Amino acid sequence: MKRSFTLFLLFLCLQMFSACHAVSIDPGEEAVLTDRPYFFGHGGVKPVPVGTGLTWAWWTTDATLVDIKPVQYDEEFSDMMSKDNVPVHFNVYIKTKVLNSPMLVENFGPNWYAMNVKEPFRTVVRNLCKKYDMNQLVSSTEANMAMAEEAKKEIIDLIKTTGIPVEVLTVTVGRIIPTQEVMTAITATATQQQLQNTERQRALAQEIRKNAETKRAQADNAYRQAMGLSPDLFVKLEGIKAFSGAVEECAKSKSCTLMIIPPNVTPTVQAGK
């Protein structure tokens, strides 16, 4: 009789263990247990979560693992239109922390972000992007910080109104850049402007040179008239001055040879063998 009772207890224990399943909870997680009885009892989410470790639950009890560490969600925005209708590309990062995992699972489910926050948050960011023109978004750190702060404020208000038990820790706007098509157009425009600036500078230099040469010619002509020289005599005088300068420069150099060739004579030089 005693042996039969022992066997019965052993069988009962085996049945109990076979009707359970293990739930492993990693550090930084909580398990929210939801009872779903088949025949009797009260179902629903248990108000107290299970912390890190290993726990056993009935097969009729579901375990939802919730990350209670700060979690960051990355939202990418492509071809987002700025205030001046220029498409830009950037990422926005929102970091949140769960405050009450049983309430979160019971009222909003494990996919609470995708179902309740994602699209409203993206709408907030799109509307804020349209408040700034492309140059502000790309080059102004103050504009990016202001957009992030306003986005954080609006999403916090939304979460409070909805009653989602999470805390918004930070909202960060990543680097904002124009799309590739816009970058190509900007580069082409900058190149064209540089070419135009170069042409303007070249034209200005030529104009300055022209004015200088004109003033020099006017000064030479005034000098010729003051000295009573004819144009032909003035040219010969200028040639003498140039020749005198060449003689002086040649005299200073040890390797200079000055050749004086009469008019109408073509010099010939015999090449060495």
Q: Classify residue 2: in a domain, yes or no.
A: no
Of 162, 178, 194, the position where a domain reaches its end is 178
Length in residues, the chain: 273
Domain count, the chain: 3
Same domain for 157 and 77: yes
- In which domain, by residue range, is 30 found? 18-67
Q: What's the CATH number where 153 sits?
A: 3.30.479.30
Q: Classify residue 161: in a domain, yes or no.
A: yes
Q: Classify residue 245: in a domain, yes or no.
A: no
Q: Classify residue 262: in a domain, yes or no.
A: no
Same domain for 120 and 96: yes
Same domain for 160 and 75: yes
- CB neighbour list of residue 25: distance below 8 Å, 6 or more residues apart: 31, 50, 51, 52, 53, 54, 55, 65
Please, are residues 112 and 168 in contact by the beta-carbon 8 Å criterion?
A: no
Tokens encoding 188: 């082409």
How far, CA to CA in Å, does 263 sit from each of 1, 237, 239, 267? 151, 17, 14, 11
Q: Dihedral sign, CA of 126, 128, 132, 135?
A: negative
pLDDT in tens, the chain (273 residues): 555 545 445 544 444 445 566 778 889 889 888 877 665 666 777 888 888 877 776 667 788 889 999 999 999 998 888 898 888 999 999 999 999 999 999 999 989 999 999 999 999 999 999 999 988 998 888 999 999 999 999 999 999 999 999 999 999 999 998 876 766 666 666 667 776 777 788 878 888 888 887 887 777 777 777 777 777 777 777 777 777 777 777 777 767 766 666 666 565 555 554
Q: Classify residue 39: in a domain, yes or no.
A: yes
**This prediction's pTM:** 0.60
